[in-house]
Amino acid sequence: MSAQQLPLRFRISLRRRAGTIGSAWQQPLAIVGMVLAGAWILVAIFVPLIAPYDPLAQSSHLLLAPSSTHLFGTDELGRDVFSRVLWGSRLSLPLAFLLVSAAVLIGGTLGGIAGYFGGLVDEVVMRATDLVFAFPTIILAMAVTAALGPSLRNAVLAVLIVFWPSYARVVRGLVQSLGQADYVSATRLLGASSARALVVDVLPNVAGPVLVLATLDLGNAVLLLASLSFLGLGSQPPTPEWGSMVNTGTQFFERWWMGTFPGFAILSVVLAFNFLGDSLRDALDPRSSWAVRERKP
C-alpha cells in the first residue's frame, strides 16, 4: 500500500515522522547517544594520559571507598578502580568494533552469495544460520568459549559466531528483494552483468539497513563480551575488563564501588550505541518513498 492510497489524514502524520537526516539528529536521544559514544571513544584513545594509576599496579591500600585520591575506590588487590574502568574501554570498544565489522563482513558476504545464487548455496547458508539461531545467544557463546578454553580471544570468536547469521539473513533478504526491483531489471536490460548490477544498484541500498543493525550490535557486543567475562569464560585476571570486574564486585558486595562503576560503564556504552542506532534508523527510514504530488491512481 503506497502512501498515496492512504486517506489524507494518515499521509499528514507520515510526513511529520519521516524527517530528513538533519532533523533526526536533533532528537534528544540522538544527541545523548552521540555525546556518550564520543566521550567513550575519546577515553579509549587518551586513557594513558587520563588514567591516574596503572591498572595493574597493586598496592597495599586495599578495598578503599571512593575518595579524592581514588575516585572510584580500590579493589581487593589495591588497584585503582577508576583507572581500571578507563582502561577497560580500551578493551571493550575496539573489540566490539572489530567483532561487529567481522560479523558484517563474514555474514554479509555469505548472505549476499546466498541471496544472489540461490539454490544449494542458499540452502546451506540458511541452514547454518538456523543452527545458530536455534540456541539462545548467551548459551551458545558460553558453550563455544567453554569448549575452546576460557580466554578473551576465544570469547571474541564465540561472539562472532553468534553474530554473523543476523547479517547473513538481512543481506540475503535485501539482495533477493532488491534484485527484483525494476531499476535492477532496467540495468540488466541495458547490458549490465549481474555482478555490476549487484555492486552498483543493490549494495548501496543494502548498506543503510546493515549500518543500522551494526550500530545497534556494537552495544550488544560489549554486553555479550562483558557477560562472558562475568561468567569467567572471557577475559582472565588481571585484565581490567568490565565484565570480570563486575564479577569480582559481586564477591565483595559491601564494597559497592567495585562492581557498580564497571556496571555503569557497560550501561552507558550500550545505551549510547542503542540511541545512535535508533537515530540512524529513523534518519535512513523512508525519506524518499514519500508520496509525490503527481500520481494518477
Per CB under 8 A, which region of 6-14, 131-139, 154-162, 227-235 contacts another protein?
6-14
Q: What is the contact mask toward another protein in residues 198 to 237, using x (rule: CB under 8 A)?
A: --xx--xx--------------------------------
Per CB under 8 A, which region of 3-11, 236-244, 247-255, 274-282 contacts another protein?
3-11
d(CA 266, CA 264): 5
Q: What's the min distance (Å) between Cβ of 119 and another protein?
A: 12
How many residues touch another protein under the rule CB under 8 A: the total is 39
Residues 166-205 that bind another protein (CB under 8 A): 181-183, 185-194, 196, 200-201, 204-205
Residues 255-294 that bind another protein (CB under 8 A): 288-290, 292-294
Burial per residue of 201-229, b for 16 or more beta-carbon CB atoms within 10 angstroms, e otherwise: bbbeebeebbebbbbbbbbbbbbbbbbbb
CA distances in angstroms from 290 to 14, 204, 206, 211, listed in the order given: 8, 20, 19, 22
Using N-to-C axis directions, what is the helix angle for 256-284 and 81-117, rounded to 10°?
A: 30
Q: Does 21 bind another protein (CB under 8 A)?
A: no
Q: What's the min distance (Å) between Cβ of 21 and another protein?
A: 13
What phi-psi label fits residue 114: left (phi over 0), alpha (psi between -120 and 50 degrees) or beta? alpha
Place of cell 508520496: 291
Of residues 222, 227, 245, 266, the one with CA closest to residue 92: 222
List contacts with another protein (CB under 8 A): 1-2, 5-10, 12-13, 15-16, 181-183, 185-194, 196, 200-201, 204-205, 288-290, 292-297
